[in-house]
């Protein structure tokens, strides 16, 4: 079945460091891909998405490019801030009769001042 | 728009008691999802509805769990009888269409003692 694999956390970075969180997927067909962020004590929020190969999703300085050839959707940010500390979830939706998002296990990011 | 509204935010109950969690999706969204989040298991899909009809309840752990969606603006998740292992954060999410990403509520933190 469809699945999402994220890099294990936690990830600890200093402020202004470069961030990469790896995400790869397995899916039949052509899924839509998403990154969600969960701040402490809150629900998940959609961060960005891409619906077809080579699309780049971006928001709040974060970017991810849908790579069909490597089945990847890695999340990147050039300069992280303390306020980016959160748990990040990669997810896919393969559509069809399923309809529900399949989430990775999440990667906790801590940014130190 | 007030977003997805869940109540209560926190619930502490004794083992064996009935617990009812409530969710009001975003107006116009036709899909509603119930998730459970724990440290051990991460984010688990329990059940989802499309146009008020349950589509997939294979994630509901046991017969003690039941969910209803009597109309487009309200859903409940009931646990009867509750057990300590049901302690978790329960999230409700809604979306306008499959594949468009979800809007999550802030969650209900359930503690069963």
- Spell out the per-residue pLDDT of chain B, length 113, in tens: 689 999 999 999 999 999 999 999 999 998 999 999 998 888 889 999 999 999 889 889 889 999 999 999 999 999 999 999 999 999 999 988 755 678 999 999 999 99
pLDDT at residue B102 in the model: 86
Helix (H) or strand (E) holding A34: strand A32-38
pLDDT at residue B107 in the model: 95
- pLDDT by residue (tens digit) across B29-59? 989 999 999 988 888 899 999 999 998 898 8
Question: Which of B26, B95, B99, B104 has the most A C-beta neighbours within 10 Å, making it the best mutation to test the interface with A?
Answer: B99
Query: How many cross-chain Cβ pairs, A to B, lie less than 8 Å apart?
Result: 52
Q: Do B91 and A44 touch (CB under 8 A)?
A: yes
Exposure string for A54-73, b = 16+ CB within 10 A, e = fewer = eeebeeeebbbbbeeeebbb
């Amino acid at each position: 079945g469809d699945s999402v694999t994220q890099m294990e956390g936690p990830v600890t970075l200093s402020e202004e460091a470069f961030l990469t969180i790896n995400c790869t997927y397995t899916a039949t067909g052509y899924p839509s891909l998403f990154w969600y962020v969960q701040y402490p004590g809150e629900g998940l929020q959609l961060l960005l998405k891409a619906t077809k190969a080579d699309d780049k999703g971006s928001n709040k300085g974060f970017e991810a490019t849908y790579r069909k050839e490597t089945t990847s959707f890695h999340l990147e940010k050039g300069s992280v801030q303390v306020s980016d500390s959160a748990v990040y979830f990669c997810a896919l939706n393969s559509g069809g009769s399923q309809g529900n998002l399949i989430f990775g296990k999440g990667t906790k990011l801590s940014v130190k001042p | 728009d007030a977003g997805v509204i869940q109540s209560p935010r926190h619930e502490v109950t004794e083992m064996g008691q009935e617990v009812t969690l409530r969710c009001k999706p975003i107006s116009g969204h036709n899909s509603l999802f119930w998730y459970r989040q724990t440290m051990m298991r991460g984010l688990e899909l329990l059940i989802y509805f499309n146009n008020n009809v349950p589509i997939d309840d294979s994630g509901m752990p046991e017969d003690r769990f039941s969910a209803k969606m009597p109309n487009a603006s309200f859903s409940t998740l009931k646990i009867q009888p509750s057990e300590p292992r049901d302690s978790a954060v329960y999230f409700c999410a809604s979306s306008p269409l499959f594949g468009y990403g979800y809007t999550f509520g802030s969650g209900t933190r359930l503690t069963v003692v």
